[in-house]
Chain A
Amino acid sequence: MLEIKDLRVKLEEEDKQILKGVNLTVEAGKVHAIMGPNGSGKSTLSYVLSGKEGYEVTGGSATLDGDDLLDLEPEERAALGLFLAFQYPVEIPGVGNMTFLRTAVNAQRKARGEEEMSSTEFLKVIRAQAKELKIDADMLKRHVNVGFSGGEKKRNEILQMAMLEPRMCILDETDSGLDVDAMKLVADGVNALRSEGRGFLVITHYQRLLDHIKPDVVHIMADGRIVKTGGPELALEVESNGYADILAEVAA
């Protein structure tokens, strides 16, 4: 589904190489996790895949079911079914959460040549989804992420994911800033979306999120590369020993 080959990326503004040849394939129906120390390039990978400005691809490729992602505008990538759950969801004062979501859903549908969702249908679906994520009517009415707590922001990300029904979901440190209960709620939301046709790439510092969202494959990223790939046990190893051992082993 998502295929990243030898992806090399530097910052546009300065001569700093962040990704130094990333190779990664996420298959449909699978959950891949990327772990790694600060500054290893995990968030950059998620931004580059979703099309944020400020990065320059110096080599390699990234495709979603064969479509070259890197040539597309962010909205085109989204319409193809790519979704990034932000580490820091952005506040947009003045734009109602509901308006935002309906605009997004219908813009994607239009881009794909599908029929737009009617207001009634949209309301029905969003109410059901919001209920699952314990998002109340007030949160739907408020401006996008404005005045939301950390947990509310992350639940709002998962609500967007549920409404947009992407094929490929990237979760960038979705556990950051969450207490145990909030994390469980978010993880339940994600697990409910797991399906045969959908791939997940879960970026996290800590193993604890992976207790709730069980990965099929775990990658360790360091200094702009995937340095080790394994099963769920790799996450446990990081949890008990830290990254130092793994990095030393790779370097050796």
Chain B
Amino acid sequence: MNAILKSKQEAAASRLDAAVLPEAAGWSKAAREDALARVRSMGLPSRRDEYWKYTRPDTLTQADAPEAALFTTDETPVFNDFDRLKIVFVDGVFSAEHSDELSLEGIEIARLADAADISWASELYGALETKGQKPVERPLAALNTALASDGVLIRCTKTPSKPVSLIYRHENSTSDAVLHHVVKVEAGASLTLLENGPAAARLNKCLEALVADGAEFHHVRAQGRDHERRAVTHMFVELGRESVFKSFTLTVNGRLTRNECIIEFTGDDAIAHVAGAALGDGDFVHDDTVFITHDAVNCESRQVFKKVLRNGATGVFQGKILVKPGAQKTDGYQKSQSLLLDGDSQFLAKPELEIYADDVACSHGSTSGAIDEDALFYLRARGVPHNMATDLMTLAFLAEAVEEIEDDGLKAELTGRLEGWLLRRSHG
């Protein structure tokens, strides 16, 4: 056995030995045990892994969560003014006290930790994650399936009157949260899922979603403002015929964020858009890793990721489009751009296309650049102060990603947040 794999397996073993395995309910027990075995065999990610070349995984894999000071702010939380079903987790633990009653017409919701045998969920829990381990291993997702202590199971049979909103509070500076959600949107229904908040000092979150034929799944996420939090998240999404999946993530601050999104088209004529806007200042690493598999005809995938980096912040993008044989008429588009506000920041991008069908349109564009000095001067010559002009151009740069949010109200909410956060930074 090679030495690298051996050391990764040792890391996995010591992590698992130190971990407290949750009391698995009967229905998820098999999936958890399977995941446990897979983690032991794969080992945990190391710096030597190609897939972790740009982002150091050690603080995500080590036994204890590195301490993260709590961030206090007088801002109202994101999505505060939206009518939504609120489900609150405090340091990774569901809080009934802060949550709404888990009931909304059109959907069934249960808490992972105390759900009785739910057949639809037992078919999915760990299943999409397992499938998503090929062709690239994602040990932290398998670790999540094994160790997840909380989360929600949402089955949407009819379009509900309002979004479901997962709120992650962070109140303990050494909390280590492992959350696993399972979502199933049944044929013809449409679900909007909101997520916001820093969650914990360290978060490992996994979301498995099955979007059935003709269903829609809209996902809008704002990852919290805590400067010191760390997070690794995985979304595994499988799309049926004529289904739609749109996901947008706004990330501001956070010492380390690795967001993986693994999408597979299994039915024809489906659409998946995944977008993100990240603002990093200083000690900040943000990694978007996306893997989209086209295994059906005439599907459209679109990736739009924008990052604004300053004071030594690092942005990473690894995006892949895999078009399987027979996935004709695939329309795949990938864009990753960074705006570097100074010479200390860096953007590392690895766009990949792997195509085995001959009638497809796939493209990717990755750019990295400084602010346009001519435009900056133009704004200043009209009386707009330097800071404000930079902010205006920063927002303009991010706008293309934010535009991917379909709902105008949510789009305006996140644009407003961005404006507010920029303003705070520039003007005290």
Interface of A with B (CB < 8 Å)? 50-53, 73-75, 77-79, 84, 86, 89-95, 99-100, 103-105, 107-108, 111, 143, 160, 164
Contact = CB atoms under 8 A, between A and B. Distances in A.
A91 B376 CA distance: 11
A108 B383 contact: yes
B399 interface: yes
A104 B396 contact: no
Contact of A94 (B382, B383, B395): B395
Interface in B49-89: none
Interface string B361-401: 00000000000111101111111111011001101110110
B396 A75 contact: no
Given A90-B374, A90-B375, A103 B386 contact: no
28 contacts: A51-B377, A51-B380, A51-B381, A53-B373, A53-B377, A73-B380, A73-B385, A75-B381, A75-B383, A75-B384, A75-B389, A78-B381, A78-B383, A86-B378, A92-B393, A92-B396, A94-B400, A95-B396, A100-B379, A100-B382, A100-B392, A103-B392, A104-B383, A104-B384, A111-B383, A160-B382, A164-B382, A164-B383
Contacts of A95: 392-393, 395-396
Given A84-B381, A164-B382, A164-B383, 15 more contacts: A51-B380, A52-B377, A52-B381, A78-B381, A78-B382, A79-B383, A86-B378, A90-B378, A92-B375, A92-B378, A94-B393, A95-B393, A104-B384, A105-B383, A143-B396
A146 to B, nearest CB: 10
Nearest to A103: B384
Contacts of B378: 86, 89-90, 92
Given A75-B386, A100-B392, A94 B379 contact: no
Contacts of A104: 379, 382-384
A82 to B, nearest CB: 9
Nearest to A112: B383
Contacts of B375: 90-92
Interface in B396-416: 396-397, 399-400
A119 B125 CA distance: 51
B405 to A, nearest CB: 15
A108 B384 CA distance: 7
Contacts of A91: 375
A79 B383 CA distance: 6
Nearest to B395: A94
Across chains A and B, which 6 residue pairs bring their CB atoms closest together, nearest first?
A94-B396, A78-B383, A108-B383, A74-B380, A104-B382, A90-B378
Contacts of B392: 95, 99-100, 103
Interface in B79-128: none
B331 to A, nearest CB: 23
Contacts of B388: 103, 107
A94 B381 contact: no
B299 to A, nearest CB: 29
A143 B378 CA distance: 14
Nearest to B373: A53
Of residues A89, A100, A143, which shows the largest number of chain B Cβ atoms within 10 Å of its Cβ?
Answer: A100
A92 B379 contact: yes
B396 A93 contact: yes
Nearest to B391: A103
Nearest to B392: A95
Nearest to A92: B375
A104 B377 CA distance: 13
Nearest to A163: B382
Contacts of A79: 383
Contacts of A51: 377, 380-381
A52 B381 CA distance: 8
A78 B399 CA distance: 27
B213 to A, nearest CB: 36
A79 to B, nearest CB: 5
Contacts of A103: 384, 388, 392
B35 to A, nearest CB: 43
Contacts of A86: 378, 381
A80 to B, nearest CB: 9
A85 to B, nearest CB: 10
Contacts of A105: 383
Interface string B221-240: 00000000000000000000
Contacts of B385: 73, 75, 107, 111
B393 A74 contact: no
A73 to B, nearest CB: 7
A171 to B, nearest CB: 13
B426 to A, nearest CB: 13
A74 B377 contact: yes
A108 B372 CA distance: 22
Nearest to B385: A75
Residue from B374, B384, B395 whose CB has the most chain A CB atoms within 10 Å: B384
Contacts of A111: 383, 385
A100 B380 CA distance: 11
A100 B383 CA distance: 10
A105 to B, nearest CB: 8
